[in-house]
Amino acid sequence: MSLPKAQSATWTFMDGEWHEGNVPMFGARTHAVWLGSSVFDGARAFEGVTPDLDLHCARVNTSAKVMYLKPTVSAEEMVAHTREGIKKFPAGTTLYIRPMYWAERAGSQSVRPDPESTRFALTLYDSPMQKPDGFAVTLSPFRRPTLDTAPVDAKTGCLYPNNARALFEAKSRGFDNCLVRDVIGNVAELANSNAFMAKDGVVFTPVANGTFLSGITRKRVIALLRDAGVQVVESVLRYAEFENADEIFSTGNASKVLPITRIGERALQPGPLFRKARQLYWDYAHS
């Protein structure tokens, strides 16, 4: 049987060794495949830097505990393994860094994972970042769950099918992404990143209300802007406020800080507060 082909150059650290390519990791009875008990995090290596790598590695351990998995690798060890893995690629390769845990077996009552069966892998792969050319968004008909209905306080694989259907629906209408609301109708985030808007020189972002993960890059950008003297307000925001914003931009690990250049049928230009946020982040990353 041939091994599954990786989409790009890939190295995976698993069971104490490095393996090249898209290494098979699961069987048909693996609990994570069957019942969704997997968590992960995402960091980046680009232009010779790995901003907030330690925070991403620490967060995957927090996510594991939320999902009743047993973290087995310290954040410090993950960082060290990542440094080893980066050296396996040509210098300057833009990498996605993904530590993850999953349950191999079910516990008593098969829905529950067995924490003692928790496994770990660290995957690094060649993944270019999106250029800051801008993208188009719409309003999604789908909503974010609440903490009492889903593990929204963890970065877990079982949450992402909802994000995926929001993206599919948006793309079916000619948009690249979408703003997703919480259950009472306030904007929570984009389908795969956090959302910001600017109005009259003030930056606004949805308050972290327990329906979405307040991203590491989101928090970093808020702090950088405030340190630079920009007023940043975390508040309850409706879709109409984004429709009438002077600027809209996103933050997330995949491409860090990107401008949104269309909302519905309204065109926008990348504005000065987006450019300031992106430059501040790049300066921080290289510091």
The answer, yes or no, to whether residue 81 has pLDDT greater than 70, is yes
Number of domains in the chain: 2
Stretch 222-230: mean pLDDT = 98
Per the domain annotation, does 4 fall within a domain?
no
When pLDDT is cut at 50, 70 and 90, the band that residue 5 belongs to is confident
139 with 280, same domain: the answer is yes
Give the number of residues written for the chain. Answer: 287
Query: pTM for this structure?
Result: 0.95
166 with 198, same domain: the answer is yes
186 with 248, same domain: the answer is yes
Residue-averaged pLDDT of the chain: 96
Per the domain annotation, does 22 fall within a domain?
yes
Q: Are 228 and 101 in contact, with CB atoms under 8 Å apart? A: no
Stretch 260-273: mean pLDDT = 98
* Boundary (domain end) residue, out of 95, 126, 157: 126
153 with 263, same domain: the answer is yes
If DSSP codes are grouped into helix, strand and coil, which group holds residue 82? helix
Q: Are 142 and 165 in contact, with CB atoms under 8 Å apart? A: yes
Q: Are strands 177-181 and 135-143 parallel, antiparallel or unpaired?
A: parallel
**Distance of alpha carbon 104 from alpha carbon 33, whole angstroms:** 9
**What pLDDT score was predicted for residue 109?**
80
* Boundary (domain end) residue, out of 73, 100, 126: 126
Per the domain annotation, does 92 fall within a domain?
yes
Per-residue pLDDT tens digits for 196-223: 999 999 999 999 999 999 999 999 999 9
When pLDDT is cut at 50, 70 and 90, the band that residue 3 belongs to is low
178 with 244, same domain: the answer is yes
Per the domain annotation, does 3 fall within a domain?
no
Q: What is the DSSP letter of 269?
A: -
Per the domain annotation, does 2 fall within a domain?
no
66 with 197, same domain: the answer is no
Nearest to 134 by CA among 279, 286, 275: 275
The answer, yes or no, to whether residue 285 has pLDDT greater than 90, is yes
Considering only CA atoms, give the Rg of the chain: 19
84 with 195, same domain: the answer is no
* Boundary (domain end) residue, out of 100, 126, 152: 126
Nearest to 5 by CA among 24, 18, 19: 24
Strands (E), the chain: 10-14, 17-20, 38-40, 43-45, 95-103, 118-126, 135-143, 177-181, 187-190, 194-199, 202-206, 232-235, 247-252, 256-263, 266-267
Stretch 221-230: mean pLDDT = 98
140 with 253, same domain: the answer is yes
The 3-state secondary structure of 182-229 reads CCCCCEEEECCCEEEEEECCEEEEECCCCCCCCCHHHHHHHHHHHHCC
Percent of the chain, pLDDT > 70?
Answer: 99
**Distance of alpha carbon 6 from alpha carbon 142, whole angstroms:** 31
Q: Is the dihedral of CA 151, 225, 42, 164 positive or negative?
A: positive
CATH of the domain at 241: 3.20.10.10
CATH of the domain at 74: 3.30.470.10
156 with 276, same domain: the answer is yes
Q: Are strands 232-235 and 266-267 parallel, antiparallel or unpaired?
A: unpaired
193 with 247, same domain: the answer is yes
Q: Which residue range forms the structural domain that includes residue 234?
A: 135-285
143 with 166, same domain: the answer is yes
